[in-house]
Amino acid sequence: MIRAFLALSLTVLLAAPLRAEGVPIQEVTSPGGIDAWLVEERSIPFTALEILIKGGQALDPADKRGATNLMMGLLEEGAGELDAQAFSAARDGLAASFTFDSSRDAISITARFLSENRDEALALLREALINPRFDQFALDRVREQVLSGLRSDVLDPNEMASRTLSTLGYDDSHPYAHKTEGNLESVGALTREDIVTAHRNALVKDRIYVGVAGDINAEELGVLLDDLLGDLPTSTVPLPEQTAFAAPGGVTVVDFDTPQSVALFGHSGIPRDDPDFFAAFVANQIFGGGGRQSRLSDEVREKRGLTYSVGSYIVNREYADLVIGQLASANDRIAEAIDVVKEEWARIAETGVTAEELEEAKTYMTGSYPLRFDGNGRIAGILVVMQGQGLGVEYINERNDKVNAVTLEDIERVAKRIYRPEDLRFVVVGKPQGVEAVN
């Protein structure tokens, strides 16, 4: 689930990426009322389609954890007249690709199809979304695959760290306190009826965001949206409540026999719509977000050789905001790495950053901004993330100005809010030497 943390932090970074006057975004509303953002790019005869529907695994009731995850894995296992093998053969014969995925906060559908057989590809995708079969045989087969993944997760130090931090950080009544892909017991007990219910709850028209890039125009897209999504129902299950990461500061050690300890650490963060969000975003770029150029990387990796990779991330989940960091060091070196992280966490809170650091971060952030917009698949993904965060198309023109407007004083102010060493909760998985745990 470190991967989940990274993915979420990336969505923050990706919220930036458009070139102000380069590629135009069209706001499209279908005749049936479905909104989408489109970048028309006719030079290659295919289209990338990205759909995000908020809700996701967090919609599963406590006794049905994993239903949404398993359900999404079953959408490609037969629909309408086609069983799993016939569906897959039809899709492959068209050379289309469909990816169905789910996370804590949303489900996603990523599709790629050729212009020459667009209608057939979309008709097939529609069947998967609207009319999946959920055959018992497919359910049992895919369930075994999910269970095998869960058996591996139980022994994966990154997963263990993430799970432990979630349990420590959230009230047990909130889905965030739990592994929302489910566990061996809950997934083992899911029935076809549970899957049908999860489908009804997760695939809903009123929480949908669509990004499209490629060989299609607004009019064609309008028709496509209605055909593809028009028959989805509206939601009946409420979204989870807002919550907050509330674990007290300290260190938890999870004993696991492996040579390298994995450390995950964090505390509550800053909302995406906070007036100081951009100052926090820039501060974290300097502190731990800027790859090898960051302070954490410089202190822990470059100067001391204590890790291969260390980073910090401002994470805005749908129902909680966090500042998270991670690193991995040999069992006999992790204690020193943790000490350095704590010192840096305190140093930036106390003294902010230098004018030179701020300037370098700004040139990187504003200079890299136009570079991310290079490919239909990437563009479609970016368009969906922006919409999901409630940003307008004008954001692409304003984003670099917001970065450039951040001052040293802004960073000094926000650093005290987002780096609080006394609140920092570490989870260390491994056989760490010299690490004192409060557990």
Partner 1 sequence: MRNFLVGLFPALMLALPAQAADVSTFSLENGMDIVVIEDHRAPVVVHMVWYRVGSADEPAGSSGIAHYLEHLMFKATDELEAGEFSDTIARNGGSDNAFTSYDYTGYFQRIAADRLELVMRMEASRMDGLALVEEDIATERDVVIEERNLRTENDAGALFNEQMRAALYLNHRYGVPIIGWKHEADSLTLEDAEAFYEAHYGPNNAILVVAGDVDPQEVLSLAQTYYGTIPANPVIVPRERTQEPPQLAERRLRYADPRIGNDYVVRSYLAPERDAGAQEKAAALTILAELLGGSPTNSVFARKLQFETQKAVYTGAWYSGQSLDDTSFGMAIVPVEGVSLDDAEAALDQAVAEFLEEGVDSEELARIKMQIRASEIYALDSASSIANRYGAALTSGLTVKDVQAWPAILDAVTEENILAAAAEVFDKRKSVTGHVRQSEEVSQ
Which residues are near partner 1 by CB under 8 A? Answer: 19, 22-23, 41, 43-46, 48, 77, 84-85, 87-89, 92-95, 112, 114, 141, 144-145, 148, 151-157, 257-260, 262, 290-293, 301-309, 328-330, 333, 360, 363-371, 373-377
CB of 338 to partner 1, least distance (A): 14
Beta bridge partners of 26: 38
In whole angstroms, how close is the CB of 335 to partner 1 at the nearest point?
14
Nearer CB in complex with partner 1: 332/350: 332
Q: Are strands 250-255 and 425-430 parallel, antiparallel or unpaired?
A: parallel
- Residue 204 token pair: 């809903």
246: left (phi over 0), alpha (psi -120 to 50) or beta: alpha
Element (H, E) at 39: strand 35-40
DSSP state string for 67-107: HHHHHHHHTTSEETTEEHHHHHHHHHHHT-EEEEEE-SSEE
Rounded to whole angstroms, how far apart are CA atoms 294 and 266? 17
CB of 298 to partner 1, least distance (A): 8
Instruction: Give min distance, CB of 294 to partner 1, in A.
Output: 10
Residue number with CB closer to partner 1 (67 or 142):
142
Which is nearest to 96 in space by CA: 82, 74, 76?
76
Closest CA to 297 of 283, 312, 282: 312
Residues in CB range of 335: below 8 A, 6 or more apart: 432, 433, 434, 435
Which one, 35 or 116, has the nearer CB to partner 1?
A: 116
In the complex, minimum distance from the CB of residue 12 to partner 1, in angstroms, rounded to a whole number:
17
Least distance (Å) from partner 1 to the CB of residue 289? 12
Nearer to partner 1 among residue 166 and residue 261 (C-beta)? 261
Minimum distance from residue 309 beta carbon to partner 1 (Å) = 7
Kindly tell me which of 11 and 30 has the beta carbon lying closer to partner 1. 11
Please state, as a whole number, how many other Cβ atoms lie within 10 Å of the Cβ of residue 31.
Answer: 11
Q: Which is nearer to partner 1, 50 or 153 (CB)?
A: 153
Q: Which one, 62 or 89, has the nearer CB to partner 1?
A: 89
